[in-house]
């Protein structure tokens, strides 16, 4: 039994999987060669423990393969721990694999009844919520068509509408808030906040720091099957991103496929590295920090009257800012030897999110010597809850 104040209690849970070297598919194959049955044990979770209070929203963060999704599957009892215990108080609804149980030849309406019954609703409960589920999915026109005729977006919207309207005590979510178009995503997010504010316990797996901070009261960082951080989302996210920045430094910023983008190839970029104001390599910055971009280039054929340019783009491809040395009033460069060019951004005003940089070397006639797309990536982290591309300092008054 759980403590009266807890919705979830995870105690000393361990989960491991067998990874076979060369698993035989047939009994004959296994009998002939015992080597086919050799395996390694991979520990996904190592003796982890945590509680989730009733009405609390908790975000699980960490690298791919760290055990976040496995934890959710254990909470839903899709799988069971090898050791330890999990106690849950209340009805559980999970948004892990949307549409599990949907039958392609049945209509959307019929599948609502099937899927909702999987979540534990009675026929009477489904009848009372049917109109709300259909309206939320925005599929009124197609609700009596076979699900096999639905687009993937329609399919996911219907599945989400069922799961989110179960009125469960505990809601488990695994990276599926990006359902449908932008308006429907906003609708899903608003519904989630409504559910949370009504006292539903939420456990959310997400790679989005801003999403975790917007929804969750607390974050748990799982690292290689162990809990490495547990506390306020801002603090845990910051520790996680700092760790990821340190890990990425050895393998990031080298330009791939040098000279294979646009350009004559006379001069090419060799590498791109980002630094903070202390000259430490970094690719995760807080909003308002100083970011220094250092571009190294190789001169294959000396060239006169050159200028450097760059663009900062959001990860959806939209351009946030573009500049070049000529537009900034600098003289053209006569490049005869290998070298580097740096640009310093003070007080970065970019909103929280992930960004890429395109860089180029050009002649005044518009001919590129080299043009490298996504030459490096970086992430902006912020305590501000505003959305968009830029954070503009402001205040309100009446």
pTM confidence score: 0.65
| Residue 150 neighbours by CB distance under 10 Å | 20
Distance CA 251, CA 264 (A): 27
If pLDDT is split at 50, 70 and 90, which confidence band does 259 have?
Answer: very low
Q: Which residue has the higher pLDDT, 138 or 99?
A: 138
If pLDDT is split at 50, 70 and 90, which confidence band does 23 have?
Answer: low
DSSP code per residue over 150-195? S-HHHHHHHHHHHHHTS--SEEEEES----SSHHHHHHHHHHHHHH
* Residue 228 clears pLDDT 90, i.e. is over it: yes
If pLDDT is split at 50, 70 and 90, which confidence band does 368 have?
Answer: confident
Tokens 């180029």 -> residue:
360
Distance CA 353, CA 380 (A): 5
If pLDDT is split at 50, 70 and 90, which confidence band does 174 have?
Answer: confident
Distance CA 277, CA 196 (A): 40
In which residue ranges of the chain is CATH 2.70.50.60 found?
Answer: 267-381
* Residue 91 clears pLDDT 60, i.e. is over it: yes
How would you label 3-13 residue by residue, b for 16+ Cβ within 10 Å and e otherwise? eeebbbbbeeb
Tens-digit pLDDT profile for residues 239-257: 887 787 666 654 444 444 4
* Residue 395 clears pLDDT 80, i.e. is over it: no
Angle formed by the axes of helices 108-118 and 123-137, nearest 10°: 120
Average pLDDT in the chain: 84
CATH code of 53-246, in short, is: 3.40.50.300
CA dist list (Å): 131 to 103, 165, 179? 20, 11, 20
Q: Report the pLDDT averaged over residues 44-57.
A: 94
Query: Closest Cα partner for 324 from 361, 370, 276?
Result: 361
Distance CA 31, CA 26 (A): 9
Could you confirm whether domain 267-381 is CATH 3.30.429.10?
Answer: no
Helices then strands, counting H and E runs in the chain, come out as: 8, 18
Query: Closest Cα partner for 111 from 72, 155, 79?
Result: 155
Distance CA 350, CA 127 (A): 48
DSSP code per residue over 27-41? HHHHHH-GGGG-EEE
In which residue ranges of the chain is CATH 3.40.50.300 found?
Answer: 53-246
């Amino acid at each position: 039994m759980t403590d009266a104040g807890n919705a979830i209690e995870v105690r000393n849970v361990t989960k491991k999987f067998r990874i076979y070297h060369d698993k035989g598919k047939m009994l004959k194959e296994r009998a002939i060669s015992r080597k086919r049955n050799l395996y390694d044990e991979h520990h996904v979770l190592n003796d982890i423990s945590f509680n989730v209070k009733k009405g609390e929203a908790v975000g699980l963060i960490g690298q791919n393969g760290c055990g976040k999704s496995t934890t959710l599957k254990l909470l839903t009892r899709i799988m069971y721990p090898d050791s330890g215990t999990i106690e849950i108080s209340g009805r559980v609804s999970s948004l892990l694999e949307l549409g599990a149980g949907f039958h392609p030849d049945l209509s959307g309406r019929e599948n609502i009844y099937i899927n909702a019954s999987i979540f534990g609703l009675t026929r009477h409960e489904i009848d009372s919520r049917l109109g709300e589920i259909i309206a939320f999915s925005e599929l009124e026109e197609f609700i009596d068509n076979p699900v096999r005729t639905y687009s993937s977006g329609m399919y996911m919207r219907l599945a989400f509408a069922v799961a989110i309207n179960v009125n469960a005590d505990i809601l488990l979510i695994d990276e599926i808030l990006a359902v449908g178009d932008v308006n429907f995503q906003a609708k899903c997010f608003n519904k989630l906040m409504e559910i949370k504010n009504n006292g539903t316990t939420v456990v959310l797996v997400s790679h989005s720091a801003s999403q975790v901070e917007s929804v969750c009261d607390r974050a748990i960082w799982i690292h290689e099957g162990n809990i490495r951080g547990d506390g306020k989302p801002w603090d845990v996210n910051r520790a996680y991103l700092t760790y990821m920045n340190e890990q990425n430094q050895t393998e990031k910023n080298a330009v791939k496929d040098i000279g294979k983008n646009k350009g004559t190839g006379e001069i090419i970029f060799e590498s791109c590295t980002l630094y903070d104001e202390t000259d430490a390599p970094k690719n995760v910055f807080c909003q308002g920090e100083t970011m220094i971009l250092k571009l190294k280039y190789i001169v294959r054929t000396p060239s006169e009257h050159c200028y450097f340019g760059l663009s900062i783009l959001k990860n959806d491809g939209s351009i946030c800012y573009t500049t070049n040395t000529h537009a900034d009033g600098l003289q053209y460069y006569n490049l005869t030897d290998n070298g580097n060019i740096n640009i310093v951004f003070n007080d970065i005003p970019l909103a929280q999110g992930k960004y890429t940089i395109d860089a180029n070397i050009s002649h005044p006639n518009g001919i590129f010597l080299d043009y490298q797309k996504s030459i490096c990536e970086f992430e902006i982290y912020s305590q501000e809850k505003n959305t968009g591309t830029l954070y503009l300092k402001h205040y309100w008054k009446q």
